Structure 1
Amino acid sequence: MHKHLRNAAITLGGTLLSSIAIAAPEQQAAAFMDIYSSHCLKYLHDFDGLRKHLSTTPQLPAEKAAMFLQGAKGNAWVVPSQHGQFVLVVHQDKNLCALYAKTVPADATKALFEKAMSKPPAPFASERKRNTADKGPDGVKSTVAYEWSNGQSPRKPLFALTVTTSKSSVAQGVATAAIGH
């Protein structure tokens, strides 16, 4: 399963951006999805390899990383991009990778995420586990989640995205990748 998931991440990263005509607002969404697939998806079964890959990337100090880790043990890195401010978080005690975007267009990001996660490469099948939208006083918060399975393993990858149109939110986009049971 590890090999299939890694190949799926490489396929998504390589074809997702090349198949999309990128306009200005969509560049942030495309950069977000590219970072997500080349880090969280590609290294989902090899977080030590991800940490090694990130060894030359600036790491956030513990007090700043704590905001993203939300009480969990782990590390957070600033991922350089000309298209926005992104922070990648890898938890120490659980198989979870998260990517935060300070600003990202909600609709474009959700559309790219849905396109990538709803139609995984073979041998995976995808099932939507969540699709919610809540309107608040300062914007709409949407969450969508997909689980991939291949019939060979009880441990299934789970991918989730939460986006908001709120201008006051710490992060307008958060995508996670985890191994479920």
Structure 2
Amino acid sequence: MTYTTRLLICLLPLLISVSGTAQADERATFLQKVYLSFCVKHFNDYAALRAGLAEQQLPKLPPQQSQHFLQGREGDAWPVPYQGEFGQYVLVLPEGDNFCAVMARRSAPMATRQWFEQMVAQAPTPLQATRLGEKQVKTPLNGEARTESWQWATEHAPRRLLLTLTTADDPEAAIQAMVSLALATQERR
């Protein structure tokens, strides 16, 4: 059994038990479900995810609009419908088959941080969760934003999963939450 297959098997319980507290903001819960359904579930093959979305003929954003979400990288972005409307959530898949992000125009920052922190702190066995850091930044479009990053990996695995969340407390922020997952080569120590 390959490392990727073992890792996917370990992640299945996480995908099945999408939890959300009763008090959690509905939008934060929706963001969590989209993140788990696309980024986490397909972490081992984002090219296949992209092909599947194209096969289903899901509308993707035109290149000019996609660039805003891709932040200068090549790739694709799809609007994700929420309550029958588009424009609140965007799935972002830059080229390279190693990064996936979901952006939310509106998502309660505290509820979003709560589910993210609960999820990342409990890496599926045999992975170990390691907090990589947190930083506050001020951006022109989002005001004060907080980014936190975690890593899921085993000690000698050739690759690791980097899980990152950025939230803005300003209710008028252009993007109030962005959650991503990147597959990276493990640094040798």
TM-score interval (norm. to shorter): 0.7 to 0.9
Between the aligned partners of 2:70 and 2:59, the Cα distance in structure 1 is 16
Quote the residue 2:115 is aligned against: 112
Say if 1:89 and 1:98, in contact at 8 Å, map to a contact too: yes
Identity %: 29
The answer to whether the 8 Å contact 2:100/2:180 transfers is yes
| Structure 1 residues 136 and 155: alpha-carbon distance in aligned structure 2, compared to 1, 3 A threshold | closer
Report how far residue 136 of structure 1 moved.
8.0
d(CA) in 2 for partners of 1:123 and 1:51? Answer: 28
C-alpha distance 10-110 of structure 1, shift in aligned 2 (>3 A): same
In structure 2, C-alpha distance between the alignment counterparts of 1:104 and 1:177, rounded to whole Å: 18
Structure 1 residues 136 and 91: alpha-carbon distance in aligned structure 2, compared to 1, 3 A threshold: closer
TM-score by length of 2: 0.84
Distance 1:13 1:27 in 2: 18
| 1:71–1:121 Cα change, 3 Å | same
* Corresponding pairs, count: 178
1:95 aligned to which of 70, 93, 98: 98
Q: Deviations over 1:81-122 (max 9, x none)?
A: 229821001011361111100100001000100100110111
CA distance 1:168–1:21, change in 2 (3 Å): closer
**One-letter code aligned to 1:22:** A
SS where residue 171 of structure 2 aligns?
coil
Between the aligned partners of 1:30 and 1:146, the Cα distance in structure 2 is 20
Quote the Cα distance in structure 1 between the aligned partners of 2:14 and 2:121. 12
TM-score by length of 1: 0.88
Rounded to whole Å, the distance in 2 between the matches of 1:88 and 1:14 is 20
In structure 2, relative to structure 1, the CA distance for the partners of 1:6 and 1:115 (3 Å cut) is: same
